[in-house]
Amino acid sequence: MADNFKFELVSPERLLLSETVTEVVIPASEGEMTVMAHHAPTMTTLKPGLIRVRTATGVKKDYVVFAGLADILPSGCTILAESAVPVEELSRDELTRRINAAKAELEDALHHEHKSRLEHFIMELSHLGNSVLPS
């Protein structure tokens, strides 16, 4: 049986979750990452994707995160999200709005690095929509 640890998911709008969990899978910028109790201290940025949580009682909860930072310690994990919502609250309209805003920013981008990051962000949002939202 896996050990438990404290997990918090915070966005500027609200505290989405503060609970004892056994496992959290996060969309780290370098790839999907599973966090469990006693994890080595790590900080990582997050890309748009799905955060999958398994609580200490065995309940599974999924959240969509658009960007943020994960602070992982042996005793817990805190995600400071730029924006996040429970997966059931994500709408196609909201995702389309975010994609269109990124496309508009891309049109005005001057530097190659900024353009590249925006193109990658748009691709990740599109992939997220295809994997999370019903057809």
Contact criterion met (CB below 8 Å) for 72 and 89: no
- Cβ-proximal residues to 132 (8 Å cutoff; 6+ apart), any chain: 50, 64, 87, 90
C-alpha–C-alpha distance, residues 19 and 4, integer Å:
10
pLDDT in tens, the chain (135 residues): 679 999 999 999 899 999 999 999 999 998 999 999 999 999 999 999 999 999 999 999 999 999 999 999 999 999 999 999 999 988 888 888 988 999 998 888 888 898 898 898 888 888 887 777 766
Please tell me the distance from the alpha carbon of residue 101 to that of residue 19, in angstroms, as a whole number: 33
| CA dihedral over 99, 124, 88, 75, signed as positive or negative | negative
Helix (H, G, I), strand (E, B) or coil at 32: strand
For each of the domains in the chain, give its residue range(s) and CATH number, in order of start. 5-87 (2.60.15.10), 91-132 (no CATH)
Please report the pLDDT score of residue 135 as a whole number.
61
What pLDDT shows up at residue 68?
96
- 89-102 pLDDT, tens digit per residue, is 888 888 889 889 99
Q: Give the C-alpha separation, 31 to 17, whole Å.
A: 23
